[in-house]
Amino acid sequence: MDAVQLGPFLIKKTYLVLIFSSMLSFLYIAILLRKRTKLLHKVEEVLTSGLLIWLLTYKFSIIFFRPSILWTNPYGVLFLTGGTEGVYLATFVFIGFSFWRFNISNISLKTSIVILIPSLTITSFAYFGIMTLL
């Protein structure tokens, strides 16, 4: 079975693994910035907003790749995702949004790179590593 049932909810294992690998990434950031709490709160705010934008971009990216779905199957927009292309698009939007928000928050480019690049690497390696074991 490729899903876990929690009461009335059926959650795919890939989503649970993605959530866990994202939590590992947040743990890295918390350890990295444990002595700079103001910066940690700004970074958490930016990344939380970025994850919401990533989720929305991934979910509704099917409109960009198959715009005819709006006329042929409008409810399909709610139930279908953008697939692999949607993941790539959402990741690029997330990276661009995060760098833009870090720039607005007066966080240096060096700090932004030290936060984002290892975080994305940790998330992707943890996700693919765990998915290989499952």
Domain count, the chain: 1
Distances (CA, A) of 6 to 9, 12, 80, 118: 5, 11, 22, 32
What's the pTM value of the predicted model, to 2 decimals?
0.84
Q: What pLDDT does 132 receive?
A: 92
Q: How many CB atoms lie within 10 A of CB 110?
A: 8
Q: What pLDDT shows up at residue 80?
A: 80
* Pick from 10, 17, 93: nearest CA to 55: 93
Q: What pLDDT shows up at residue 1?
A: 62
Domain that holds residue 106: 3-133
Tell me the average confidence (pLDDT) per consecutive run of 10 residues in the chain, 134 residues long: 84 89 93 92 93 92 87 83 88 94 92 92 93 89
